[in-house]
Structure 1
Amino acid sequence: MKIDILSLFPEMFDGVLKSSIMGKASEKGAVTFKVTNFRSFTTNKHNKVDDYPFGGGAGMVLMPQPLFDAVEAMRQTHRQKPRIILTSPQGKPFQQHDAEDLAKESGLIFICGHYEGFDERIPQHLVTDEFSIGDFVMTGGELAAMAMIDSIVRLLPGVLGNETSAVTDSFSTGLLEHPHYTRPADFRGLKVPDILLSGNHEKIAEWRHRESFRRTYNRRPDLLNGRILTDQESRWLTEFEHQKEK
């Protein structure tokens, strides 16, 4: 995968793209990153990329010319037509299925905004996807882009050491992930559930499914809305509801 990032502050990405999973993914050749300051594409004699909004109002708005020219230049370096992603608090909420979808692409271009916003011709006529990582506003789109890129890159083949890790992550199955334990089995009197020490993999898998379902019911019941429950999950749901009523 080739990922281009257009930002006014490319130095923000230095540590993130070279560290941890993303750094290893790059070393393995699973992904290549290029961060470009789109100010270098402006034709404005004052090197500006923003201007006052028509009609008045607070703040500055990013002009279309630098970003259109930057994206058009980036497109030429991709073998296939890349998805162009705009980070914006007005975008649709970014979710795990979006990361899984984007991980199938050969190329992505991320546009990180700043100031009051974008000229509306950018989201309407340039980008293919507009995403938000939450109902809050940040200074710029760099941190949002980092979060999305991390969630995408870790899904690329060969990036994670254990290929089942991404499959069982929270949200990948529609449920939150089950609890995890490691050594020692008894820490200050706090013991690991006996089932995990039993060696019975079938029972362990059932326990993990049950605890995953319980955690989702307790913490994110909204994720169960519209879920087609198995017979076992229906029984667990009835049990959890009875326990909650007591």
Structure 2
Amino acid sequence: MSTPTTAARTPLRVRPVLMYHSISASTAPDPHRLRVHPDRLDRHLRRLRRLGLRGVGLTELLRAQERGEAGRLVALTFDDGYTDFLEHAAPLLQRHGMTATLYVVAGRMDGANDWDSGPRLPIMGADQVRAVAAAGHEVGSHTMTHARLAGADPATLTAEVTGSRRVLQDVLQAEVAGFCYPYGAYDTAAADAVAAAGYDNGCVIGDYSPGDRFTVPRCYVSPQDTAAHLVARMARHQLLQRGR
């Protein structure tokens, strides 16, 4: 495994990165608090527009930041690759002139979220993943099986990190630049594996240390978050980064 460059592992100050999962009007049990109603997402995107902000994928945000052009951008990310992204989130993003990163569990395409105890949610197949990319959204990897990578052995890291990138690049016939650690669980070996596999970046959840290019922190968005809550989360994100 190659060693990540010093620049890549230097702490960054990144614009807010928002984390969603399922976008659905379902009233089924939601024990893990993953489901945001489409109307609520619509209100979130409207508030971003009123603030003069535009949602983009995480890789686009990081590259704009390198050019000094990220001042009015926020990153929008959606984990797991649920089919409801195409049904509900993608039309809303298009309406508001925004894009996002969708992190797909590559080994569960055409399957479901069998890694948790909540309701079974369908995951996109290859054609749907290609449709997401064709609509202008970034597709990133969320491992092969939604494995917890902190403490994983080298063989598991290779299968989950490198293997998932290979699968998704074969589906898309394009580079897969972004990676997302399931459960936000990572350690130095996992972050090094993501960098060595050729990804441009990796993201976690609310962990601001080290906060480098392969451990970019994100703001979790809950099912009950109002537009005002969203603004507060973004403000807290900025304060936490200034305090590092």
Fold shared, TM-score > 0.5 on shorter chain:
no
Structure whose alpha-carbon radius of gyration is higher: 1
TM-score by length of 1: 0.28
Higher relative contact order (CA 8 A, sep 6+): 2
TM-score by length of 2: 0.28
